[in-house]
Amino acid sequence: MSGDIEDKPQPLIEHLMELRTRLIWAIGAFFVAFIVCFFFAKHLFNALVYPYKWAVSWAGLDVTKAQLIYTAPQEFFFTQVKVAMFGGLVIAFPIIAAQIYKFVAPGLYKNERAAFLPFLIASPVLFLLGGALVYFFFTPMVMWFFLTMQQAPGEGDVAISLLPKVSEYLSLIMTLVFSFGLVFQLPVVTTLLARVGLLTSQWLAEKRKFAIVLAFVVAAVLTPPDPMSQIGLALPTILLYEIAIYAARLVERQRSRQAVEEADGSADVAKTDSV
pLDDT in tens, 91-149: 998 888 888 888 887 776 776 676 677 777 888 888 888 889 889 988 888 888 888 88
The pLDDT value recorded for residue 49 is 93
pLDDT of 75 > 80? The answer is: yes
Q: Helix or strand or coil: residue 71?
A: coil
Q: Is the residue at 122 inside a domain?
A: yes
The pLDDT value recorded for residue 188 is 83
The pLDDT value recorded for residue 272 is 60
pLDDT band at 4 (very low <50, low <70, confident <90, very high): very low
- Residue 185 sits at φ, ψ, to 5 deg, of -85, -5
Q: Is the residue at 7 inside a domain?
A: no
Q: Is the residue at 273 inside a domain?
A: no
Q: Is the residue at 2 inside a domain?
A: no
The pLDDT value recorded for residue 241 is 86
How buried is 216 (Cβ within 10 angstroms: 0-12 exposed, 13-18 middle, 19+ buried)?
A: middle
Cα separation values, 155 from 95, 151, 159, 213, 236, Å = 60, 12, 11, 45, 44
Amino acid identity for residue 118 in this structure: P
Q: Which residues contact 127 (CB under 8 A, 6 or more apart)?
A: 93, 181, 182, 184, 185
How buried is 232 (Cβ within 10 angstroms: 0-12 exposed, 13-18 middle, 19+ buried)?
A: buried
Lowest pLDDT segment from 115-124, 126-135, 201-210, 238-247: 115-124
The pLDDT value recorded for residue 5 is 43
Q: Is the residue at 274 inside a domain?
A: no
Share of the chain above pLDDT 90, in %: 21
**Range 11-27 average pLDDT:** 85
Nearest to 48 by CA among 149, 177, 190, 146: 177
CA distance 269 to 263: 10
CA distance 54 to 58: 6
Q: Is the residue at 1 inside a domain?
A: no
**Range 210-215 average pLDDT:** 87
- Residue 224 sits at φ, ψ, to 5 deg, of -60, 160
The pLDDT value recorded for residue 29 is 94
Helices (H) then strands (E): counts for the chain = 10, 0
The pLDDT value recorded for residue 3 is 44
Number of domains in the chain: 1
CA distance 229 to 233: 6
Q: Is the residue at 6 inside a domain?
A: no
Residues facing residue 165 across a β-bridge: 69
CA distance 193 to 200: 8
**Range 218-224 average pLDDT:** 75
Highest mean pLDDT among 9-23, 125-139, 228-242, 244-258 belongs to 125-139
Share of the chain above pLDDT 70, in %: 85
Average pLDDT in the chain: 82
Q: Is the residue at 5 inside a domain?
A: no
Residue 241 near residue 184 (C-beta atoms within 8 A): no
The pLDDT value recorded for residue 186 is 83
Domain residues for the domain of 213 are 12-150+163-267
The pLDDT value recorded for residue 87 is 92
The pLDDT value recorded for residue 236 is 84
CA distance 222 to 218: 6
168-171 LR contacts (CB < 8 Å, sep 24+):
169/48, 169/49, 169/52, 169/68, 170/45, 170/48, 170/79, 170/82, 170/83
Lowest pLDDT segment from 130-144, 193-207, 231-245: 193-207
**Range 28-39 average pLDDT:** 95
Cα separation values, 212 from 13, 50, 167, 217, Å = 47, 32, 32, 9
The pLDDT value recorded for residue 88 is 92
